[in-house]
Amino acid sequence: MASQLPSIPTTSQLTTIVHLPSPFAELPRYPILYNHPSPIHPLPSLSRRTTQSPAQPRINIFAKREDHGSPLACAGNKYRKLEYIVPDILSSTPTYHYHEHHPTTQKLNGPATILVTEGAIQSNHTVQVASLARTLGLKALVLLSRGTGGGLRASQDRNAFVRSGNVQINRLLGAQVRILNEGDPIANDANPILEELRASGERPYWIPGGASLHALGGLGYARAAFEIEVQERELGLGGSGGFDYIFVACGSGSTVGGLIAGFKLGETARQVIGVLNSPTRPRPYHEDRVLNFARRAAAQVGFDGKERPTAEQAIGMDDVRLEDRFVGTGYGVLDAETREMMEVMAQSESVILDPVYTAKVARAMMHWVEEDEIREFARQRGLDEVNVLFIHTGGQAALGAYADVI
């Protein structure tokens, strides 16, 4: 089915072949990313900060630039997830088009005509869905909730916050933008809007926030694990065991869950640290979600209890490691320490972080480095150096909305 779909043109002629085992390799995937992996490059200034004396194990820090992963608008981690969802969107009989609170809704009689999704006011996910819709020749409706997170409440100019940044880009992309007030029931159940669209002759395809609750949401980052393994060898890290630690944002959860499933399938141990960005829910809630997403992805890519163990046997709570000390006072709220991390990264590495996700990830990573959590790992194993990967998931377009605090 995937081979019959139109492809998104890219300017790159480089191709890195990522070999996936069966049945993962047979799952339909639509190319949204460049035909070469998002780059991994060293962060030399941050790495130099990690070694105070020659007697200490060296910590080498690298960045994987998911914000450079696609030719479409505001590249970031959601495009990788959407690659496995598009074949269903364009199918003559979509299977996963419904709202998660109403899974028995009527089937679509043909490919989707409009993508509908949700998010906080400065949602990166909605922009990537809107951009994808335009590329596929579809309409887009994005639902942005004033009640999600604290970024809007913390803003000194709330009117500007709901007009600028990702909101502005959604509109520029031609998406219909609907701002939901706090307490609006549509923020919890979009079925009335979906029914309204069906009644008007549209075939709406619902993509939940972050695409994590979508049945195929974890597959993109399961594939990313194999891509990272290829890049480790290209960087000459294969002999040292590759990246010992991988730090990545944990919002809705399937990015972390997919990575766990992919590395488990590749049979290469990795310490994947998901950095939480919101204090709204306690860590055990997120741990359960990530475990479920990882197991769901694992079951789809080959852990079936036949040639491999079941997903439940292969992945347990010990595989889920989440960091919750840097969530701050609210989702989307930029505190002074996280703002300082943005300045450090910009002024030492010329890498621009976003205020919601990646700045908190970088702050958590540097805490682990500077407070000896990673160095102790090296000492226990007799290692002279440790390789750390920071996954940059994008989101810089939101910066315009934070002009009053940055």
Give residue limits of the domains in the chain: 24-73+216-401, 78-207
Q: How confident is the model over 291-328, as pLDDT tens digits?
A: 999 999 999 999 999 999 999 999 999 999 999 999 99
Tell me if domain 24-73+216-401 and domain 78-207 are identical in fold: yes
Cα angle 151-156-158, degrees, rounded to a multiple of 5: 65
- Asked if residue 363 has pLDDT above 60, the reply is yes
In whole angstroms, give the CA distance from residue 385 to residue 372: 13
User: What average pLDDT does the chain have?
Assistant: 92
Is the previous residue joined to 31 through a cis bond, with omega within 30 degrees of 0?
Answer: no
- Say whether pLDDT at 360 is over 50: yes
pLDDT digits (tens, 9 = 90+) for 209-220: 999 999 999 999
Indicate the pLDDT class of residue 52, thresholds 50, 70 and 90: low
Provide the annotated active-site residues: 123
What CATH architecture is 24-73+216-401?
A: 3-Layer(aba) Sandwich (3.40)
What's the topology of domain 78-207? Rossmann fold (3.40.50)
pLDDT score, position 376: 87
pLDDT of residue 53: 65
Among 220, 195, 227, smallest CA distance to 128 is for 220
pTM, full prediction: 0.94
Which of 82, 45, 41, 46 has its CA nearest to residue 64?
Answer: 41
Q: Which amino acid is residue 135, in one-letter code?
A: T
Q: What is the DSSP string of 224-291?
A: HHHHHHHHHHHTT-GGGTS-SEEEEEESSSHHHHHHHHHHHHTT---EEEEEE--SSS-HHHHHHHHH
